[in-house]
Chain A
Amino acid sequence: MLTAEEIQEIEHEISLVPYKKAACIEALKVVQNHRGWVSDENLKDTATMLEMTPHELDSVATFYNLIFRKPVGQHVILLCDSISCWVMGYENLRKDLMQKLEIKYGETTPDNRFTLLPNVCLGTCDHAPALMVDGDLYQDVTPEKLDEILSKYK
């Protein structure tokens, strides 16, 4: 069941577009903002509001990297794995990060604190390698800086 608040926010998104379906990505984002991810049940309820089939909505949801159809931890780390970061030593950073968190790409730490995902170029190749935690951008990241960054996210 979607909450009253979610329903209201989705209705607002619908009011901004010419037909209901056109609000579907925004609607999924509303649900995700409240819950961290979009479950099958939430997806079905959202689809009903948009007069879409769950299938149709899921095909949109799974197209976009930033819509999570699986549970994620409290904080999501996006590690840039594109060319400039690679050239600037991203592989060592990845190794360290995976060792520290004891997880691989797509996994969540057992304490549910972090999920680690690869991401395309974060648009800061002049300060590579780069990563993002919950939308905060970190530049020129060295393995030494990792502890300090991670400690900010409880």
Chain B
Amino acid sequence: MGRKILTEHINVPGINTLEVYRKMGGYRSVEKALKTMTPEEVVEEVKKSGLRGRGGAGFPTGMKWSFLAKPEGKPRYLVCNADESEPGTFKDRVLMEKIPHALIEGMITSSYALGARTSYIYIRGELMFVLRILEKAIAEAYASGLLGENILGSGYSLDLHVHPGGGAYICGEETALLESLEGKRGNPRNKPPFPAVQGLYACPTVVNNVESIASVPWIVNNTGEEYAKIGVGRSTGTKLISAGGHINKPGVYEIELGLPVEEFLFSDEYCGGIWKGRQFKAIVAGGSSVPILPAQLFLKTAEGTPRVMTYESLSEGGFVSGTMLGSGGFIVMDDTTCIVRNTWNFSRFYHHESCGQCSPCREGTGWMEKILHRIEHGHGHMHDIDLLVNVSKQIEGNTICPLGDAAAWPVASAVRHFREEFEWHVKHPEAATQ
């Protein structure tokens, strides 16, 4: 059994209420940080923990916090990114739904560390039922003096708002999120300046994922050093993995980073293996934005080293034979899955969700979708396959935000690893699905 930091109490009845949450030791980090630590000391612990951003990019949280600009006379903000809409990823939703106070506790402790007086949780607009759960929990926290003026008599005050989005995947990109929070179209901004320097209303802002923020209380309670003992190398701590697709036990699992991928996928404690006694064909392991891998390359690197669940191990081999841990969204596919149709689905998604600011992304995603549609529907040519790769190369690295890359990688990797399937579709138009 791996150590559980975020989900230890997830099955305790009533854990969504303040009363039970506190009984299980909740909100201790607020007491400890606000009453016995300086904000700098809290930042220091998070730095020592080695915690890396759980939104997908894996940027060290403590380092981001220490980059926060502190100009005189300007407010600073903490914004929690709860826009989770990456296909295959649903860990933040489960955490907020089941243990809303874990996020609120993290928001208070983290806001204190950053010197924010107003903080926001930006939650995706579809999740109105989760919004209501959070609002109820926030009201409980206000009523018991954990939010608002002079929290627990510490002299520190904080206002926390939940803000629902309007339904747009791109608003999960942190600068698009900030634009949206300011009441605009969610068009990503050019970085730099990073939000840490110029964020919400041009003020210094830290944007962090739900899971990153919810990990802070444990770090404050147990020290960063203890947290860093969990995991392997630069992948410290535990990680929530959302697992779905053709497996026996889909769901959200908290794992210690470093767990062998084979154990995660096949042991009964986690995914329980491939369903219906079928074979494991391919996987998208970090949410839809990361390269797809065939089973063999996922279980072992090209050199034959068994992979483990860390940022480093999954990306070994780069884009040629590796992938990324990303947001930890596992989409497992059995041997009945058609990779071409699957890739077309990805492309349609990115084309629809492109904000349209950069022409490589706006036009390229449309092209790729069209070509894939053509191949899938029996009208493709052999040269279409190389054209796909070409278009993906035109997008990659040439856009304002990484949505362009995220659209290019799944296509390029699908062709790289499953080229014969694309060719088969071209050669067998009669087998096309209509």
Q: A residues touching B (Cβ–Cβ < 8 Å)?
A: 16-18, 21-26, 28-29, 59-60, 63-67, 78, 81-84, 86-88, 119-128, 132, 135-137
**Contacts A87-B331, A126-B252: A82 and B349 contacting too (C-beta < 8 A)?**
yes
Query: Cβ of A128: which chain B residues have Cβ within 8 Å of it?
Result: 244
Count of A-B residue pairs with CB < 8 Å? 125
The main secondary structure of chain A at its interface with chain B is mixed
What's the Cα separation between A122 and B93 when bound, in Å? 10
**Contacts A66-B125, A67-B166, A126-B250: A59 and B185 contacting too (C-beta < 8 A)?**
yes
Whether B87 contacts A121 by the Cβ 8 Å rule is yes
Does chain A have a CB within 8 A of B224? no
Whether B349 contacts A83 by the Cβ 8 Å rule is yes
Which of B185, B244, B349 has the most chain A CB within a 10 Å cutoff? B244
**Contacts A25-B183, A83-B342: A126 and B349 contacting too (C-beta < 8 A)?**
no
What's the Cα separation between A21 and B201 when bound, in Å? 12
Does chain A have a CB within 8 A of B105? no
The residue of chain A having its C-beta at the shortest distance from the C-beta of B246 within the complex is A87
User: CB < 8 Å: which of A21, A23, A88, A121 contacts B85?
Assistant: A121
What's the Cα separation between A126 and B241 when bound, in Å? 11
* Binary interface encoding of chain B residues 283-309 relative to chain A, with 1 for a CB under 8 A from any of its CBs, else 0: 010001000000000000000000000
What's the Cα separation between A105 and B84 when bound, in Å? 24
What's the Cα separation between A119 and B87 when bound, in Å? 11
Instruction: Give chain A nearest CB distance to B3 CB in angstroms.
Output: 22
Does chain A have a CB within 8 A of B329? yes
Query: Cβ of A86: which chain B residues have Cβ within 8 Å of it?
Result: 341-342, 345
What's the Cα separation between A16 and B186 when bound, in Å? 20
What's the Cα separation between A59 and B184 when bound, in Å? 9
What's the Cα separation between A120 and B129 when bound, in Å? 17
Whether A125 contacts B242 by the Cβ 8 Å rule is yes
Whether B129 contacts A137 by the Cβ 8 Å rule is yes
What's the Cα separation between A25 and B166 when bound, in Å? 7
What's the Cα separation between A20 and B46 when bound, in Å? 37
Q: B residues touching A (Cβ–Cβ < 8 Å)?
A: 84-90, 93, 124-129, 161, 165-169, 180, 182-186, 201, 242-246, 250-252, 284, 288, 329, 331, 333, 337, 341-342, 345-346, 348-349, 352-353, 355
Instruction: Give chain A nearest CB distance to B126 CB in angstroms.
Output: 6
What's the Cα separation between A59 and B250 when bound, in Å? 39
Q: List 6 contacting pairs A-B, 8 Å CB cutoff, sorted by A.
A: A63-B186, A63-B355, A64-B125, A82-B88, A87-B337, A88-B246
Instruction: Give chain B nearest CB distance to A83 CB in angstroms.
Output: 5
Query: Cβ of A82: which chain B residues have Cβ within 8 Å of it?
Result: 87-88, 288, 345, 349
Query: Cβ of B246: which chain A residues have Cβ within 8 Å of it?
Result: 87-88
What's the Cα separation between A82 and B344 when bound, in Å? 11
What's the Cα separation between A123 and B129 when bound, in Å? 12
The residue of chain A having its C-beta at the shortest distance from the C-beta of B170 within the complex is A63
Instruction: Give chain B nearest CB distance to A30 CB in angstroms.
Output: 13
Which of A84, A88, A124, A137 has the most chain B CB within a 10 Å cutoff? A84
What's the Cα separation between A17 and B120 when bound, in Å? 12
Whether B186 contacts A84 by the Cβ 8 Å rule is no
**Contacts A121-B87, A126-B242: A83 and B288 contacting too (C-beta < 8 A)?**
yes
What's the Cα separation between A65 and B353 when bound, in Å? 10
User: CB < 8 Å: which of A22, A25, A123, A137 contacts B84?
Assistant: A123
